C-alpha cells in the first residue's frame, strides 16, 4: 500500500513516514503546496492508495500576521 504523507518533514509527518517505511511517499512543502490546487496534481501522478495530510501552519505569530494563509493550510 502506497501512502502519501503531506507535511512529511513536520513532527507528525516524520513519525508517519518512519512507521510506513518503504510504503511512504514523503511530500514536503517543496513538493506541493496544499493551498495551491495545481500543485496537488502531483498526487495523480504518484497514484497513492492513501493520502495523509499532516501539513499545518503552526507558528502562532505568523498565523496572527497572516490569518488567511493559516486558515487555508489548517482547514
Q: Work out the average pLDDT over 64-73.
A: 90
**Edge-to-edge strand list for the sheet holding 24-27:** 24-27, 3-6, 50-53
pLDDT at 63: 86
pTM for the complete prediction? Answer: 0.87
pLDDT digits (tens, 9 = 90+) for 3-59: 999 999 999 999 999 999 999 999 999 999 999 999 999 999 999 999 999 999 888
Bin 41: left if φ > 0, else alpha if -120 < ψ < 50, else beta: alpha
Amino acid at each position: 500500500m502506497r501512502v502519501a504523507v503531506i507535511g512529511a518533514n513536520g513532527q507528525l509527518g516524520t513519525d508517519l513516514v518512519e512507521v510506513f517505511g518503504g510504503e511512504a511517499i514523503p511530500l514536503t512543502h517543496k513538493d506541493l503546496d496544499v493551498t495551491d490546487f495545481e500543485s496537488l496534481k502531483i498526487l495523480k501522478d504518484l497514484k497513492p492508495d492513501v493520502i495523509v495530510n499532516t501539513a499545518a501552519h503552526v507558528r502562532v505569530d505568523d498565523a496572527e500576521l497572516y490569518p488567511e494563509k493559516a486558515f487555508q493550510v489548517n482547514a
